[in-house]
Amino acid sequence: MNKKATEFQKYLDEKKIVCFKSEEIAKDTLNTVVFRSLVEAEGQQLPMAVILDSSIYCMIRVRIAPQMPSGAKEADVLKRLNDVNKKFKVFKYYLVDDGGLYLDSCLVLTDEKAVGEKVYVILEVLVKHLQDEYKKLMQVLWA
């Protein structure tokens, strides 16, 4: 396990946080470890991952929707995502090629000792944001 992942696991253990399952990515040049969990928004369980590697970056990724509904108006969805992205500095929404909708937050972590606290602060902000915005976003997706 890379140093940041080791520190994050130590933080989880100390705080008795047991909702994460870790997976080391085999033969990865950056020694990537993915900590998977779920985030709840409006009664939906959204897959979430904290991705830690040997670089200075940490990614927190939430899958908001596996794909856009067939009737969704892409232009309306993209406008909504752009409006939300302009308001929030710490994370950004985007569509992937297969139509999936994701929310990413990229953290710069140069001090391995503070990994757990920094990641958890962003997770708390992200959860609060989803509680406030998820329903509005889904209304645009399903309009």
Model pLDDT for residues 61-107, shown as the tens digit of each residue:
999 999 877 766 788 888 999 999 999 989 999 999 888 999 999 99
Architecture per CATH, 3-141: 2-Layer Sandwich (3.30)
Task: Tell me which of 57-61, 90-94, 136-140 is least confident.
Answer: 136-140
Cα–Cα nearest to 16, from 129, 130, 119, 116 = 116
Report the C-alpha gap between 143 and 126 in whole angstroms. Answer: 24
The mean pLDDT of 96-121, rounded to a whole number, is 91
H or E element at residue 8: helix 3-14
Task: Tell me which of 8-22, 39-53, 108-122 is least confident.
Answer: 108-122
* pTM for this prediction: 0.92
